[in-house]
Structure 1
Amino acid sequence: MIQDISPHPLIAHGASIICRKENRFLLVKRGKEPLKGSLAFPGGGVEAGENAEQAARRELTEETGLHCSRLRLVDTIDLSQEGLYGKVYNLCIFRAYDLSGQEQAGDDAVSLHWLTVEDMLQHIVTVSTLAFARRILQEEG
């Protein structure tokens, strides 16, 4: 038996998508670790052969059933500072515009929730999700 001794990547890449209707943000209840059961923006890892924007579009559709006409890169952060991944995890955070499709939780999303920032305070929401929801409200009004 040959043992796989290939090195594990030291840097992982992911994409997260901010969807907003008025003052509510679309969050998914995470069905997998890390942070299983908490609420966060839809998103996940960048797969081989795709860039962050392609990953964002794929994750949005897989987790919510929705599509968007346009994405804008809001920021890129390193989630390893939250101590969840044990390696550098660069997360590109996109703002989605002009949503279409039929909302339905899928892939590793257990459920979908449209919440205001005030609503988020009553739930277990990831730190970066709450911070970026506040930032978008401040930027967009």
Structure 2
Amino acid sequence: MTQTFSPLPITAHGVSMICRDENRFLLVKRGKEPLKGSLAFPGGGVEAGETAEQAAHRELLEETNLRCSGLKLVETIDLSKEGLYGRVYNLSIYRAYDISGIAQAGDDAVSLHWLTIEDMLNHVVTASTLAFARRIMLEEI
């Protein structure tokens, strides 16, 4: 009798950056799948050889042309439960502080939007983005 084993799921790691200005949050309109056309916090995958913090800085710059001098890890969540990635996808969500530069969409970001939570309700915004924006406002992170 032969046994068959299922391969272990491939785990991917991504980062997301929460940029806040008063009661507005910086969101990017995604230009690629998954989530093409949806608004979400800037972010993307961690590349080989880089830390999550390095990826967070890189993704912020690539997608928004902005830099930050401070980061705080808010939480790491498993996005594979949303069924979008077909694998285990851990997302480290960071709060960015001391943001500088001139905002400009780049990489896979089609456009940039500074929105309040109320504004987000009138757009296609990912569930985790809306949930974390609400949390940031309540907890003053």
Tell me the residue number matched to 1:87: 87
**Aligned residue identity for 1:135:** R
- Measure the CA separation in 1 of the matches of 2:8 and 2:76: 22
1:105 aligns with 2:105: yes
Tell me the residue number matched to 1:3: none
**Aligned residue identity for 1:77:** I
CA contact (8 A) 2:9 2:88 kept: no
Q: How many residues align?
A: 135
What's the offset of the Cα at 1:134?
0.2
- Measure the CA separation in 1 of the matches of 2:9 and 2:62: 25
- Measure the CA separation in 2 of the matches of 1:8 and 1:58: 29
Indicate how the Cα distance of structure 1 residues 10 and 98 shifts in structure 2: closer, same or farther if over 3 A, else same: same
Q: Deviations over 1:87-138 (max 9, x none)?
A: 1000000000010011100000000000000000000000000000000000
TM-score w.r.t. the length of structure 2 is 0.93
Task: Give me the identity figure in percent.
Answer: 79
Q: Which runs of 4+ in 1 moved over 4 A?
A: none
**Aligned residue identity for 1:113:** H
SS of aligned partner of 2:13: strand
Could you say what the CA RMSD is over the residues aligned between the two structures, in angstroms?
A: 1.4
Tell me the residue number matched to 1:65: 65
